[in-house]
């Protein structure tokens, strides 16, 4: 967003480095929905964070509109993998359940035992934003 609003190359460079780091992280699960912390002790037996996956998918789709073509293709593919995972029964709640939130299995602050394995409003927001970006692009 910073690059979109300012057109300063430094922001695009930073976003590309960050995206590459997250996508290529050795602790990124196969379904591309991150653990609550990439360096958490106990991986793979720690909670996943659907909110992080939704935020990342939305960001990657936006970034794909500005990144070089070869990177843009990777970002779009990763975002679509994340959206497919989030739309699966593992993360998408059945209608009328989950307090009427869309996504389940989100983590706000695990060390503080706050918002652990719960729905979060911002997870639903970024999930819907990512779906709209996927449809538009």
Domain assignments of the chain as residue spans, ordered by start: 8-24+37-136
CA angle 37, 43, 44 (to 5 degrees): 120
For position 35, what pLDDT does the model report? 96
Question: From CA 92, how far away is CA 86, in angstroms rounded?
Answer: 6
For position 17, what pLDDT does the model report? 98
Give the predicted TM-score (pTM) of the model. Answer: 0.94
Structure tokens at 101: 């939130």
Residue in the block written with tokens 């927001």: 125
What three-state secondary structure class fits 69? helix
For position 37, what pLDDT does the model report? 93
For position 109, what pLDDT does the model report? 75
Reported as a pLDDT band with limits 50, 70 and 90, residue 117 is confident
Q: Averaged over 118-129, what is the pLDDT? A: 96
Please determine, for residue 111, whether its predicted confidence score (pLDDT) is greater than 80. Answer: no
Reported as a pLDDT band with limits 50, 70 and 90, residue 118 is confident
Long-range contacts of 39-47 (CB under 8 A, 24+ apart): 40/110, 46/110, 47/105, 47/107, 47/110, 47/116, 47/117
Q: Averaged over 79-90, what is the pLDDT? A: 98
pLDDT in tens, 30-61: 999 999 999 999 999 999 999 999 999 999 99
For position 48, what pLDDT does the model report? 94
Structure tokens at 22: 């997250």
Structure tokens at 50: 């659907």
Question: From CA 51, how far away is CA 98, in angstroms rounded?
Answer: 14
Residue in the block written with tokens 């307090």: 99
Reported as a pLDDT band with limits 50, 70 and 90, residue 137 is confident
Reported as a pLDDT band with limits 50, 70 and 90, residue 108 is confident
- Selection from 62, 59, 86, 64 nearest residue 75 by Cα: 64
Show Cβ contacts of residue 79 under 8 Å, excluding neighbours closer than 6 positions: 56, 57, 58, 60, 61, 64, 130, 134
């Amino acid at each position: 967003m910073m690059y979109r609003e300012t057109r300063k190359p430094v922001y695009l460079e930073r976003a590309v480095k960050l995206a590459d780091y997250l996508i290529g992280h050795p602790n990124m699960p196969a379904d591309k929905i991150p653990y609550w912390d990439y360096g958490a002790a106990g991986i793979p037996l720690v909670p996943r964070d659907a909110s992080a996956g939704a935020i990342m998918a939305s960001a990657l789709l936006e970034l794909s509109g500005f990144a070089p073509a070869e990177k843009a293709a990777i970002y779009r593919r990763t975002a679509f993998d994340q959206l497919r995972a989030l739309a699966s029964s593992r993360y998408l709640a059945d209608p009328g359940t989950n307090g009427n939130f869309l996504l389940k299995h989100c983590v706000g602050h695990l060390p503080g035992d706050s918002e652990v394995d719960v729905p979060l409003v911002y997870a639903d927001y970024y999930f819907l934003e990512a779906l709209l970006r996927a449809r538009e692009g």
